[in-house]
Amino acid sequence: MYKTAALVLVLGLAGVLEALIPRSEGSWGVNLSAPEMIQSFGYPVEVHHVATRDGYILELHRIPYGLSLGGYRDRPVALLYHGLYGSSADWILNKADQALAYIMADEGYDVWLANARGNRYSRAHQTLDPRDIDFWDFSWDEIAEFDLPATIDYVLPTTGARDLFYVGFSMGTTVFFAMLSEHPEYNDKIRAMAALAPVAYQGNARGLVSTVAPFINQLDKKLTSMGVGEIFPNNELTRSWAMKLCDRNSLLAVFCRKILATIGGPNPDELNRDLLATITAHTPAGTSVHSVTHFGQLITSDGFYKFDHGPHGNLRRYGQRQPPSYDLSQVRIPVAIFAGENDYLADPRDVELTERELPNVVQTTTLASFSHMDFTWAVHAYDYVYRHVLDFFWNYRN
């Protein structure tokens, strides 16, 4: 009886919200895939698939050339890797003159956009089904160990390049650091790295995530015991609600903005409200519960560790009771760091700890007002970040 009453109440509230929310004419890009959005701006796009050693099928999106310099020819290769809840769309959701994928294509780069296992575009496996919890038995450890090396080893022979430029945002930096710690031979395949909102140490994280982090292991066990392996999936329903709730004309759009600020930090002047529904329709893009848990573990620790399976699980997996640390000293390629003072997830104090251990940081830029999400969505992303990324890479193009 109580369950029925609760269901009626939820449905009733949903009906009230539906009535309160104005009918939107539809926000641009909400129902388009990343390749379709790229095409809509007139850029060429290719879809590629690569299999990892443990059987996941990853989808890569390529912009081989830009509008200003058309045609295939020798170009430096750039690989862009998204954050925890993101996808290849992270790099194309902004206006064309503020979205890094288009900017780099027009600057003469062969641009590749990665998609980690489990997100909207990489939900395939050679034997496992996403409806099976075994599909979701991974954290970002596995993304670093399998996904990123497989992606690099596919992109380089496909393009004929010896090495590539790398741009990582948030988790895209985490998995890069972890990969080179375990496989330092990949330093030879990277020319330079731009680290946007880098995340390794996270003990000073603020906001909503720091409140939840102390309970993250219990939440992980509870969800796993219930057969839940995926968190924040991206589907037609979530995209529909994003358009209804976060459209600029919605009465509830203020809550969308508040949620983003609570998670990543406030910077209202840099959020394009016209694109908010598009942003929230594509992000979150889906990931595993364990990946979220892994970052929660970093927040409650003082190091940069592999996934903590508990003392007994660690003994089985690592041969020791504590998870091993990643070694940032193995990241030998030139690194440029871009951080934000208002970033709740990559706090400047944690970024400084990371910078101290990286042996070849050649430039650090800290932006006074930037929050976490601004590095991909900011109104002035080009002026504050991307033109400096291009200048940094230019020093290593020849």
Task: Tell me how far apart the alpha carbons of residues 252 and 17 are, in angstroms, rounded to a whole number.
Answer: 9
CA angle 242–231–378, rounded 5-degree value: 50
> In the CATH scheme, what architecture does the domain 29-394 have?
3-Layer(aba) Sandwich (3.40)
Question: From the CB of residue 11, how many other CB atoms can be counted at a distance below 10 Å?
Answer: 10
SS3 assignment, position 86: coil
Check if 170 is active-site. Answer: yes
**What pLDDT does residue 68 have?**
79
The first and second tokens of residue 339, run together, are 């951080």
Q: Which of 234, 232, 239 is nearest to 288 (CA)?
A: 232
Is the pLDDT at 384 greater than 80, yes or no?
A: yes
Task: Please tell me the number of Cα atoms within 13 Å of 265 on its side-chain side.
Answer: 24
Q: Tell me the pLDDT band of 298, cut-offs 50, 70 and 90.
A: very high
**SS3 assignment, position 190:** strand
Mean pLDDT of the chain: 90
Count of H helices and E strands in the chain?
17, 11
Active-site choice (61, 125, 294, 372): 372
CA distance 43 to 67: 6
**Is 87 noted as a catalytic residue in this protein?**
no
pLDDT exceeding 90 applies to what percent of the chain? 76
Q: Which of 220-224, 255-259, 343-347, 374-378 has the lowest mean pLDDT?
A: 255-259
179 with 145: CB under 8 angstroms? yes
Record the tokens describing residue 393, joined without a space: 């890479």
What is the mean predicted confidence (pLDDT) over 246-253?
Answer: 78
Place of tokens 């609600």: 241
Q: Is the pTM of this model over 0.85?
A: yes
Torsion (CA) 40, 123, 78, 47 in degrees, nearest 10: -50
Give the integer Cα–Cα distance in Å for 291 and 145.
Answer: 13
User: Is the Cα dihedral 10, 11, 13, 18 positive or negative?
Assistant: positive
All structural domains of the chain with their residue ranges: 29-394
pLDDT at residue 72, rounded to an integer:
65
The Cα–Cα gap between 324 and 132 comes to 29
Per-residue pLDDT tens over the stretch 328-354: 999 999 999 999 999 999 999 999 999
Quick: pLDDT tens for 153-195: 999 999 999 999 999 999 999 999 999 999 999 999 999 999 9
User: pLDDT value at position 25?
Assistant: 41
Look at 94 and 10; give whichever has higher pLDDT.
94
Q: Which residue has 């908010």 as its token pair?
A: 276
Of the residues 139, 170, 210, 250, which is catalytic?
A: 170
CB-count exposure of residue 266 (10 Å: 0-12, 13-18, 19+): middle
Given a cut of 80, is residue 69 above it in pLDDT?
no
At residue 70 the predicted structure's pLDDT band, cuts being 50, 70 and 90, is: low
Strands 190-196 and 230-231, how do they pair? unpaired
Residues above pLDDT 70, as percent of the chain: 92
Query: According to the model, what pLDDT value does residue 27 have?
Result: 64
